A and B are shown apart, each in its own frame.
Chain A
């Protein structure tokens, strides 16, 4: 569907290469010029993603500005992840899945209680992961904003109807993100079991970082 616009990155040359277990949080500064790769090892695994200017985290990913700048609600190859200050934080330089969501937000204990049942508020959720990761950087709830959901399929109809449906991400799907500035990336490997965003089976993902070419 979409193809890479740069030569293939060799995993053997990555300066970082780790598997992130299912349901876990992750945060790392990806330096300007580095490339971060997220691999959907099992297929149809939602990866909730936030990114900040590492040198001034009050500058952060803005979903509305990003979709407005490209005139399209889906994240794919070529999408620039814009900040609330109008700067590109990262650029999607490769995407083998086809499209990613930035309208559905992160699952939370609180929204789970509304969506799926009051007793569901005790289940683990992405907002918990985000808060857990952010606290190590002295950040908290005020720093959270609308996020990207890589590998999550949320079609939106002309009249605004939307729903999280079966994913379109095959095992091994890849998205590569080039850091346009020093970028603090925060990830939640989504634990949601109440809708199809993880195919009812949260699975590990792989994260790799390469230095500037």
Chain B
């Protein structure tokens, strides 16, 4: 369970609804299939300076999280509560049903051997290698690494297109709730955001909780967010008829 010195923002989960509860150490990767209708809560326990993520249709691994479609369909490159993660097949992988952070980046990609060597001066664990290891264990690999999502990370875009890191998005206790709208293979890499300027490598633990969230109501925030969302959910629900 959560460590003594950390706090989590409110919205407690009824313990009887918890299916899985685990701490991911700094630098490590984690993967799990999140069943449709359950929610993956990811808690930034101590302010970890970013967490990289990839996800896939667990029943058809060639259908994967698509950063461009996610941004284009929702007219925004940064994710917020009420938005969704789209696959490349016009379907919803996850709904972002709760978000106490407010800043998640779809543009900047992830750390690799070269970026870590340049920033930290050593071979500290990086997200690209973490993704490869996680994917290999599912008989997937290099070709399955797509542009990733970065949780708890804020990037700003200037009018001339300059992309800059914004300090402060990652706050101890922040969490997101990702409700799986299909069976989703989620892969997390707990390494700092590639644009984080801090040169001391010290990623903090992240807590993941999979829980039986309530079925979405007729006025569900994510399912009714826009005409596009309504169609995206129609496409998704069609898989399970």
A interface residue numbers (CB < 8 A to B):
58, 62-65, 67-68, 71-74, 84, 86, 99, 103-106, 108-115, 117-118, 121, 127, 141-147, 155-164
B220 to chain A, nearest CB (A): 17
Bound CA span A163–B76, Å = 8
What are the 6 closest A-B residue pairs judged by CB atoms, nearest first?
A105-B68, A64-B109, A110-B90, A160-B78, A74-B161, A160-B77
From known contacts A156-B161, A158-B156, infer whether A67 and B108 are also in contact, taking CB-CB under 8 Å. Answer: yes
* Structural contact, A156 and B67, CB atoms closer than 8 A: no
What are the residues of chain A within 8 A of B144 when measuring CB–CB?
Answer: 142
From known contacts A64-B147, A74-B161, A141-B62, infer whether A160 and B76 are also in contact, taking CB-CB under 8 Å. Answer: yes
* Structural contact, B68 and A103, CB atoms closer than 8 A: yes
From known contacts A58-B143, A67-B108, A108-B90, infer whether A158 and B68 are also in contact, taking CB-CB under 8 Å. Answer: no
B interface residue numbers (CB < 8 A to A):
62, 66-69, 71-73, 75-78, 86, 88-91, 107-110, 112, 114, 142-148, 156-164, 194-195, 228, 231-232, 234-235
A118 to chain B, nearest CB (A): 6
Bound CA span A110–B88, Å = 7
From known contacts A62-B109, A103-B77, A158-B158, infer whether A114 and B231 are also in contact, taking CB-CB under 8 Å. Answer: yes
Given A115-B72, A160-B76, 17 new contacts (CB under 8 A): A63-B109, A71-B163, A71-B164, A72-B162, A73-B157, A109-B90, A115-B228, A121-B90, A142-B143, A142-B144, A146-B68, A156-B161, A158-B159, A159-B76, A160-B77, A160-B78, A161-B75
Bound CA span A127–B143, Å = 17
From known contacts A105-B72, A113-B231, A141-B62, infer whether A84 and B145 are also in contact, taking CB-CB under 8 Å. Answer: yes
Provide 27 A-B residue pairs closer than 8 Å at the C-beta atoms, listed in order of the A residue. Answer: A58-B143, A63-B68, A63-B109, A64-B108, A67-B109, A68-B163, A71-B164, A72-B162, A74-B160, A84-B142, A86-B114, A99-B161, A103-B107, A105-B66, A105-B67, A105-B69, A108-B88, A110-B89, A111-B86, A113-B90, A118-B234, A142-B144, A156-B77, A156-B161, A158-B158, A162-B75, A162-B76
